[in-house]
Amino acid sequence: MRIKVYRAATIALAMAEIRDALGLDALILSTATLDGGVEVTAALETEDEPGLLSPLHGVMPVDPRWDEAIGIKPVPDRPWARHNLPADLAAALGHEPVEAACARLFRFGRIPISSGEAPTMLVGPPGVGKTLTIAKLAARLVLDGHTPMVITADEQRAGAVEQLAGFTRLLGLTLIAAGRPETLGRALARRAAKAPVLIDAPGLDLQDPGQHRLMTDLLSASGAKPVLVLAAGGDPCEAAEIAMDHASTGARHLLATRLDRNGRLGGILAAAWAADLILTEAGTSPSVAGGLEPLSAGCLSLRLCRDRGHVTPVRPQRDAAFDDGGDVPHADPLAIHIAAQAGAARASSRPTFWKTLP
């Protein structure tokens, strides 16, 4: 395989240089923004070398009709081409209407966080937005009249406890820090009857045996259902590998983040496709109040067919798959403030807003 790094003033110039040097079968491995330009790493498989070892059989090649510096235009008969979908998933989409294809290829559902459910643990690599998503889910539960138990098992990232404690303090909740399986089990022994439980897992690399063992121990001690969190815009092949690693520990649901900043869905859809995960919701705002939207075939179709990657999110119409009388609330900051005041009154006797179990 020939691999080379190209630097140019714009992405369009870099793509043109890659096409001239490597031809139309070149694969884009990564892109980065530099001072005064961009850097693109491209590769070309030679005929005497084996293909890329990937469960997804590579990614879509550079297309000569993608011709703008930013916001590369989609091919008219393949509006989703710019999302860098895996080749086998792109072929599976075919030429039928995109919404119908999404409904056929993917599963959609809710995150199981109702009262009486098993604890929900948000899992995934570092930096994908698990902590903010925990805060959003906790805010939703408070606005629905519940008092969730919020636990952080992330003792590896500097400031992780303090960051989540800031959110729970606003909601009048006490955050429990329990980073070891045995302390996590003791924390859950204090769970109020049928109270929802949200657990923020540490960002782990499940390819590492030690970190894989820690994840399985945390899940075993808590009896939690893992929900994989991935940020939009990631590499499709890597996202698929992460999804399959987490599926091996019991993850059945996927929650996407940063759709307000990253419009390309190749990584998210590759993960759901490879590990057969249920697509649940997407983070479309940094706001804790109402910053999650349900995913559906219609929502994916709208996003896959857009001309630009970074656009203002469009709130999808309510999908029949979610029509069970329980709309995801889209609260404003005032509602959060009112809920927080009510929660603070209930918690006025608490000496602190977070505590670490020994």
pLDDT in tens, 111-123: 988 778 899 999 9
Q: Are the CB atoms for 187 and 176 separated by under 8 Å?
A: yes
Tens digits of residue pLDDT in 313-357: 444 443 333 333 333 334 444 444 444 444 444 444 343 445 555
**Kind of pairing between the strands at 37-44 and 2-8:** antiparallel
Tens digits of residue pLDDT in 165-209: 888 888 889 899 998 999 999 999 999 888 999 999 999 999 999
Q: Is the pLDDT of residue 59 over 50?
A: no
Res 153: pLDDT: 92
Tens digits of residue pLDDT in 61-76: 444 333 343 343 444 4
Selected residue with higher pLDDT from 47 and 270? 270
Measured distance CA(58)–CA(70) in Å, rounded: 23
Predicted confidence band of residue 306 (pLDDT cuts 50, 70, 90):
confident
Cα-trace Rg, the chain: 22
Measured distance CA(316)–CA(327) in Å, rounded: 12
Reported pTM: 0.68
Selected residue with higher pLDDT from 8 and 249? 249
Residue type, 95: H
Burial class (CB in 10 A: 0-12, 13-18, 19+), 345: exposed
Q: What is the mean pLDDT of residues 125-147?
A: 91
Q: What is the mean pLDDT of residues 36-46?
A: 72
Closest CA to 89 of 282, 267, 321: 267
Token pair of 245 as six digits = 């690693």
Q: What is the mean pLDDT of residues 233-247?
A: 94
Res 211: pLDDT: 94
CA angle 113, 266, 139 (to 5 degrees): 25
Predicted confidence band of residue 214 (pLDDT cuts 50, 70, 90):
very high
Predicted confidence band of residue 39 (pLDDT cuts 50, 70, 90):
confident
Out of 190-194, 268-272, 296-300, least confident range: 190-194
Q: Is the pLDDT of residue 23 over 60?
A: yes
Q: What is the mean pLDDT of residues 297-323?
A: 58
Average pLDDT of the chain to the nearest whole number:
77
Res 2: pLDDT: 65
Measured distance CA(152)–CA(159) in Å, rounded: 11
| Residue 300 CB neighbours (<10 A) | 26
Residue type, 186: R
Q: What is the mean pLDDT of residues 42-61?
A: 45
Q: Are the CB atoms for 165 and 159 separated by under 8 Å?
A: no
Q: Are the CB atoms for 143 and 331 separated by under 8 Å?
A: yes
Catalogue all structural domains in the chain, each as residue range(s) with its CATH number.
2-75 (no CATH), 107-356 (3.40.50.300)
Pseudo-torsion of CA 6, 7, 10, 16, nearest 10°? -30
- What percent of the chain stands above pLDDT 90? 39
Q: Where are any strands of DSSP class E within the chain?
A: 2-8, 27-34, 37-44, 107-108, 120-123, 149-152, 175-177, 197-200, 225-231, 253-257, 278-283, 292-294, 354-356
Closest CA to 283 of 167, 128, 149: 128
Residue 75 bridge partners (DSSP): 78
Closest CA to 131 of 171, 159, 170: 159
Res 338: pLDDT: 42
Q: Are the CB atoms for 189 and 183 separated by under 8 Å?
A: no
Q: Is the pLDDT of residue 135 over 80?
A: yes
Q: Is the pLDDT of residue 50 over 60?
A: no
Res 272: pLDDT: 96
Closest CA to 356 of 179, 206, 189: 179
Res 63: pLDDT: 42
